[in-house]
Amino acid sequence: MPESYGKRQRNTAHAKKVAAREERRLERKQRDADRAAGLIEAGTPIAPNEPDDLPEFPPSVTEAESEDQAEPEENESK
């Protein structure tokens, strides 16, 4: 097996990781500049993970159907 086996693939993968890292760094730098200028508010733009903070949605159709099927019917046994 040659000494250079797979080296090109490793170098390509490493170059992609470095480019992605640099892109994230530039995006972060732009966000920091925007925050300093007051264009976006400070803090994380991620929605809260606490269940109490999430909006309530009506149950889906499949949940309502499963609840109806779980209840025994009275007229079925006669």
Rounded to two decimals, the pTM is 0.47
**Mean pLDDT split into 10-residue runs, the chain, 78 residues:** 80 96 96 89 66 63 58 55
For the chain, the structural domain boundaries read 1-43
- Whether residue 50 contacts residue 57, with contact meaning beta carbons closer than 8 Å, is answered with no
Amino acid identity, residue 49?
Answer: N
Q: What is the rounded distance in angstroms from the CA atom of residue 32 to the CA atom of residue 70?
A: 53
SS3 annotation, 49-61: CCHHHCCCCCCCH
pLDDT of amino acid 67:
60
